[in-house]
Amino acid sequence: MAFQESPNAGATRYLSLGVFIAVVLGGGLLIGLVNTPGDWYASLVKPSFNPPNWLFGPVWSALYVLIAFAGWRTWRRNRDGIAMKVWFAQLGLNFLWPPVFFGAHLLGAGLLVIATLFMMILGFISLSWLRDHAAAWAFLPYAAWVAFATLLNAALWWLN
């Protein structure tokens, strides 16, 4: 879908993209720094498919940029629409999961949060698909990673 903007909208458009990236990436990194895996996570029995710890930071950083991009496009298209509301809901759940899982050590509650997050991600993709393919496509790697993270959370809950 093409966006119709005034000729002076370019600077504002990119400023708003910068704000989305700063809030999403900055918020995600801050929450990650405050809720580190630590000794508790190291002591858990892990499934054979558990990735190395160093992988999570780069993957989430890239995903946060894609999440911000999709949110920014949706904001520009219809900031009061249901897709934007679902985008905010998924971001809230995304930011909630680390304190529940790593901070409170609640594997079962973490599983409920991340499973709900996965459903919100799929909902956003579905809502965006017909109106903004770029926003929907930006969420596909996120959906794949959160599906994997949900499986990992479930395995950790089961094993511990």
Question: For the chain, percent helix, then strand, then coil, each to nearest 5?
Answer: 80, 0, 20
- Local mean pLDDT, 10-residue blocks, the chain (160 residues): 54 88 97 93 97 94 98 96 98 98 98 98 97 97 98 98
Number of C-beta neighbours around residue 126 at 10 A: 13
In contact, 113 and 97? CB cutoff 8 Å: yes
* Residue of 140, 139, 131 lying closest to 68 (CA atoms): 139
Model's pTM, two decimal places? 0.91
Helix count (H) and strand count (E) of the chain? 6, 0
What single letter denotes the amino acid at residue 81?
G
Q: What are the chain's domains?
A: 14-43+52-159 (1.20.1260.100)
